[in-house]
Amino acid sequence: MRTTLTIDPDVASRLKAVMKHRKLTLKKAVNETLRHGLARSAAPQVLPRFKVKAHACGGFLPGVDSAKLGQFADELEAEEFLQRTRR
């Protein structure tokens, strides 16, 4: 099949590198690259199952506001950053 294709500059430079390294014509480099990419995208990607392990929590100590834990984490991170910048 004959068609006109506009190739982005970054892709064109990578194709030129493939052509030079493997001593291929533009046609062969494009066809091999497309075949490889299409084969990878057609294969189903199987990810390992992710399991959440529950842990018993005895609750928070008196005086700990669970609604402000995010704020507390931010404050700890800010303190750590300040300590690193002072060194």
Q: What token pair was written down for 70?
A: 């995010």
Q: Does the pLDDT of residue 58 top 90, yes or no? A: no
Q: What is the DSSP string of 6-53?
A: ---HHHHHHHHHHHHHHT--HHHHHHHHHHHHHHHHHS--PPPP--PP
CA dihedral sign, ordered 70, 72, 73, 74: positive
The predicted-structure confidence for 11-52, as pLDDT tens digits, reads as follows 999 999 999 999 999 999 999 999 998 888 777 778 889 888
- The rounded distance, in Å, linking the Cα atoms of 53 and 78 is 30
Q: What is the pTM of this model?
A: 0.46
